Structures are given as structure tokens and as C-alpha cells.
Structure 1
Amino acid sequence: MFRVRVDSCGNKEANMTTVECSPKEIGRRWFEEVWNQRNVNVITELLAPDARGHMEGGQEVVGARDFIVFHQNLLKAMPDLRISVRNVLSDGDDVCVHWEATATHTGTAFGIPSSGRKLAFNGMTWFRVDNGVIVEGWDCWNQGGLFAQMSQAV
């Protein structure tokens, strides 16, 4: 457990205070608050200033600013993106989140123009947490399957 200043690890009823938030809770908050609630402030709260994100396909982002650009670009192309957490495993400072996502492809993403298609894909994100913040993350998901769905016309 880490002592961090957060909104009680996502507990809306508590005031801003110092609370204990496990790496597992940080992993869940990342998907619920950053992706589903579109709360960009949580990105800067949960990422270390020099956090490294190793994205599927070899792209790397460093720090909150880079990740926010990635986040905004993906949401422009898939504005109704919804991510469901299926399982969260943790061992010490390491957290692995298995997730499933649905979205409608309404804008250019990964160089593929809008297809208007409903998309479904899944993957895993591995986080390394240190002192209550994410310091590194690795994404692994079915990019080939997603690209195939995006490339087909409605």
C-alpha cells in the first residue's frame, strides 16, 4: 500500500485527504476515470512526471503531456470508447489489467480513416507503480484484429 493524496482511491463520498491506495486500485482507476469518465486530471495525478508508456505497435509516450495527446487523439477517432475491466492481478508494485473495449470508429485512428463501424477489442495493460504513481506501463492488445475491423466499410 502507498499513502497518496487522492480522492480516496475513487471514493466520491470522501474528502480530498491522504488515503491508502493499492496498485490494484490505481489500475482500476486508470481505466474507469481516465478512459470511461474522460477525466484528464487523473492522468496527471496517477502518472509519475517521467512515466514511460510502451504502446502496442512500438510507440512510446513519456509523461502526462504525451499521454494526454494520445488519449485525446484516440477519443477523437472513437468518441464513445468504453473500456470494461475484466480482471486485475497484482504482485507487489506490478499490476496487470485485462480489459475489453467497444467503440464506434468515427474519425481517423492509427492512419485509418473513419469506417463508421462498431468495434470490439481486448487487451492487457501492465503497470509498474512506485510510491503511489504509475512509473511505467506496457499495452498489449489485438491491434491486427482492430485494424481489420476499422478497414472494413459499413
Structure 2
Amino acid sequence: MTITETARNRAAFDRFHDATNTGSFEVIEKTIDEVVAPDVVFHAPVPMDTTGAQALKQVWTVLLRAFPDLRVTAEDVLVDGDKIVCRNTVTGTHRGEFRGMPATGKSVSYSEIFILRFAGGRVTEIWGVVDVLTQLRQLGALAA
């Protein structure tokens, strides 16, 4: 991996991360089309009925409908070869249906870690670990 490839991957990551914090599905969708491979392999604890970049778009549709003020703060970003690892804190207010639960108005703050693999300057594979247990507890779906 050359310095140029690493810088291109980091720039693509930064564009995607910045887009996620706009609150605009249109901006996120456009950025996904530009920096994520259409056949990206997406591994995360979110049920989906589609694959590839469409699965990632579906995730963001669900998240923004439920948490329109969603913010993703990158606490740590590590770059190693063709991979970028990001440890995030996610915050938002539950204003719409999420996982079958109607809006509660409750705030959430939970952690997640994602590993992104790049090829040709685009994300080709994503692994995600999301603290869904904390998220559901804060929403009142599970006892503390």
C-alpha cells in the first residue's frame, strides 16, 4: 500500500464520516455511491433484506428515520494498509420508529467499532460491532 493509496482511503473515509453527520439521507446516499463499492460486503448486527451498497443505504434510512439528530463522533481512527478502524460514539434522540418501537423521545449514547477495507479508493468490505444492548436499554426496551 503506497502513501498515496493510504491518503486516498483516509480521504474517502473522512468524506463518508462527514456525510453521516449531515442528517441528510440524500447527502449520505450520494457519498455512499461515490466512496463505497456497489457490491460492498457488509457485516453488522442490523437485519437487512438487501446486500451491497443498498444495504448500507437501508441502514442509514432506518437510523435517520429513528434518530434524525444522529451524530457519530470518531473517537479513534487507525489506518493500517488497506483497512481503517474507527471507534465511534453515537448519539441521538429517538424521534421515530426503531426496531418495532415507537418514538420515545429518549436520548441514546452508545459505542461502535467499524473496520473498513478499501480497494481502488472505495470501501469494499465493512465489519461492524455496535453496542445494541446499551442502545436498547437506553430506549427502555430492556431492563437496565
Alignment TM class, shorter chain as reference: 0.7 to 0.9
> Which is richer in helix?
2
Calculate the aligned-residue CA RMSD, in Å. Answer: 2.0
* Map of 2:15 onto structure 1: 29
> Percent of aligned positions with the same letter in both sequences?
25
Write out aligned runs for 1:71-82 (5 A).
Answer: 71-82=60-71
1:83 Cα deviation from its structure 2 partner = 0.8
Checking the alignment, whether the CA contact within 8 Å between 1:82 and 1:102 is kept in structure 2 is: yes
* Map of 1:16 onto structure 2: none
Checking the alignment, whether the CA contact within 8 Å between 2:48 and 2:55 is kept in structure 1 is: no
Checking the alignment, whether the CA contact within 8 Å between 1:52 and 1:60 is kept in structure 2 is: no
Q: Work out the number of aligned pairs and report it.
A: 134
Q: Any idea what SS the aligned residue of 2:57 has?
A: helix
With structure 2 as the length reference, what TM-score do the two structures score? 0.83
With structure 1 as the length reference, what TM-score do the two structures score? 0.78
> Which is richer in strand?
1
The structure-2 alpha-carbon separation of the partners of 1:60 and 1:134, relative to structure 1 and needing over 3 Å to count, comes to farther
Query: What CA distance in whole angstroms lies between the structure 1 residues aligned with 2:49 and 2:83?
Result: 19
* Map of 2:114 onto structure 1: 125
* Map of 2:42 onto structure 1: 53
The structure-2 alpha-carbon separation of the partners of 1:86 and 1:60, relative to structure 1 and needing over 3 Å to count, comes to farther
Cα deviations across residues 38-64 of structure 1 (Å, max 9, x unaligned)? 312101011111001111256585222
Query: What CA distance in whole angstroms lies between the structure 2 residues aligned with 1:103 and 1:60?
Result: 25
Q: Any idea what SS the aligned residue of 1:98 has?
A: strand
Match of 1:45, as an amino acid? Answer: E
* Map of 1:85 onto structure 2: 74
Within the alignment, does 1:112 sit opposite 2:101 as a pair?
Answer: yes
Query: What CA distance in whole angstroms lies between the structure 2 residues aligned with 1:140 and 1:60?
Result: 19
Query: What CA distance in whole angstroms lies between the structure 2 residues aligned with 1:77 and 1:46?
Result: 25
Query: What CA distance in whole angstroms lies between the structure 2 residues aligned with 1:126 and 1:60?
Result: 22
1:123 Cα deviation from its structure 2 partner = 1.1
Unaligned runs of 5+ in 2: none
Query: What CA distance in whole angstroms lies between the structure 1 residues aligned with 2:50 and 2:18?
Result: 20
Cα deviations across residues 70-103 of structure 1 (Å, max 9, x unaligned)? 2112101100001111111011001101111110
Match of 2:21, as an amino acid? Answer: N
The runs of 4+ residues in structure 1 deviating greater than 6 Å are none
Unaligned runs of 5+ in 1: 3-19
